[in-house]
Amino acid sequence: MTKNFVTNKDVTVRMFKSDLLESFSRVHPAVPLIIYLPVILFFLYRAVFIANISLEYVLYLIIFGIFIWTFTEYFLHRFIFHFNAKSDFGKKIHFIFHGVHHDYPMDSRRLVMPPSVSIPLAALFYYVFYLMFGVNDVSPFFVGFLTGYLFYDMTHYAVHHFNIHNKFWLALKKHHIKHHFQDPNKGYGVSSPIWDIIIGTNFPRENL
C-alpha cells in the first residue's frame, strides 16, 4: 500500500521564509472555538431576541445550516484542497492549502483552519447567505453553518490526536485515516461521510 505521508509524528515543516506569514499558517486547536463560539452566540441572540423568529423556525434553520455545511465541507475538501495542480506554482499552492497536512498529518498546529483563512471565508459565506436568506433568516442559518464548521475542525483534530473508543467517533476516525493512508481520492467527508456515500466516493464496504 502506498503511503502518502512523510512522518506520523507531531512535527512540522516551515512553509514561508517570512516569520509573519509562517505564524499565520499555524494555529492552536482551541482558536476556532475562541473566535466562533461568541459569533454563534451573537447570531443566535439576534435571531431570537432581535428578529423575534420562533424557536421552531430557528431550530429548522440551524439544522439546515448544519446540513449545508456538510456539503460545503465535502466540496471544499474534494475540489479545492485536492485540486489537481499541473504547474509548479499550482503545486506549491496545493501544498500550502492541504498537501502539507497529508505529508505531516500529525502536526497539531496545522489541523484546524487558521483564522487568516477561516475569517475571510466566513465573511464571504455570510455575505452569500445574506443575499439568499435576507437579514433575519440568515442569523439562525449561519449559527448552524458555523456550528457545523466548528464540529468539523474539532473532529479533525480529535481523529488525529485523541485516543478514541466511542463507536461513532471511531467510525469517523477510521473513515478519515483511510483517506490519508489508503486512498486520498476517497473519504472527503471529515465530520460526516454522508456525501461520500451519496456521491460515490466512500470506501468499499469490505474496507470500512
Per residue in 49-79, pLDDT (tens digit) is 999 999 999 999 999 999 999 999 999 999 9
Q: What residues make up the domain containing 147?
A: 19-207
Categorise residue 43: left if φ over 0, alpha if ψ from -120 to 50, beta otherwise: alpha
Choice between 134 and 94, residue whose per-residue pLDDT is larger: 134
Instruction: Indicate whether 80 belongs to any domain.
Output: yes
Model confidence at 106, pLDDT cuts 50, 70, 90, reads: confident
Whether 5 shows a pLDDT value over 60: the answer reads no
6 lies in a domain? no
Whether 2 maps to a domain, the answer reads: no
Instruction: Give the pLDDT of residue 84.
Output: 84
- Give the three-state DSSP class for 25: coil
DSSP 177-204: HHHHHT-TTS---SS--HHHHHHT-SPP
Indicate whether 12 belongs to any domain: no
In a domain, 13, yes or no: no
Does residue 184 sit within a domain?
yes
